[in-house]
Amino acid sequence: MNRRRAALGDARVNPKRADRVMAQARLLLPKAPRRRQSSRVHEGKVAVTQSDLRWCSDGLEIKCDSGQTVTATFTKDCCDRDVTAWRAWEGKGLPGEPVRDMLIEAVEKRFGTVEAVPASHGLEFLTDNGGAYIAADTRSVARSLGLKPINMPVCSPQSNGMAESFVNTFKRDDVARMDLRDAATVKAQLPAAFEHFNEVHPHSSLRMRSPREFRLHQAAQERHQSTKDLASHCE
Under CATH, domain 50-225 is a member of which superfamily? Ribonuclease H-like superfamily/Ribonuclease H (3.30.420.10)
User: Does the pLDDT value for residue 28 go beyond 70?
Assistant: yes
pLDDT band, very low/low/confident/very high, at 18 (cuts 50, 70, 90) = confident
Q: What would the DSSP string read from start to end of 46-57?
A: ---SSTTSEEEE
pLDDT band, very low/low/confident/very high, at 181 (cuts 50, 70, 90) = very high
pLDDT value at residue 34? 65
How does pLDDT run across 189-235, given as a tens digit for each residue?
999 999 999 999 998 888 889 999 999 988 888 887 777 777 777 76
Answer yes or no: are the C-beta atoms of 159 and 44 closer than 8 Å.
Answer: yes
pLDDT band, very low/low/confident/very high, at 43 (cuts 50, 70, 90) = low
User: Does the pLDDT value for residue 118 go beyond 80?
Assistant: no
d(CA 106, CA 97) in angstroms, rounded, equals 14
Section 159-180 average pLDDT: 91
Strand order in the sheet with 69-77: 83-90, 69-77, 54-63, 124-127, 148-151
Section 60-78 average pLDDT: 97
Residues near 126 by beta carbon (within 8 Å), at least 6 away in sequence: 46, 54, 55, 56, 57, 78, 150, 152, 159, 160, 163
pLDDT value at residue 8? 87
Handedness of CA 49, 150, 171, 102 (dihedral sign): positive
Q: 121-156 burial by CB neighbour count: b if 16+ within 10 A, else e?
A: bebbbbbbebebbebeebbebbeebbbebebbeeeb
> Angle, nearest 10°, between helix axes 136-144 and 96-111?
10
Ranges 22-31, 69-78, 175-184: which has the least confidence: 22-31
Domain boundaries, the chain: 50-225
pLDDT value at residue 115? 76
How does pLDDT run across 140-152, given as a tens digit for each residue?
999 999 999 999 8
User: Does the pLDDT value for residue 37 go beyond 70?
Assistant: no
Query: Measuring CA to CA, which residue among 209, 233, 205, 202 is closest to residue 79?
Result: 205
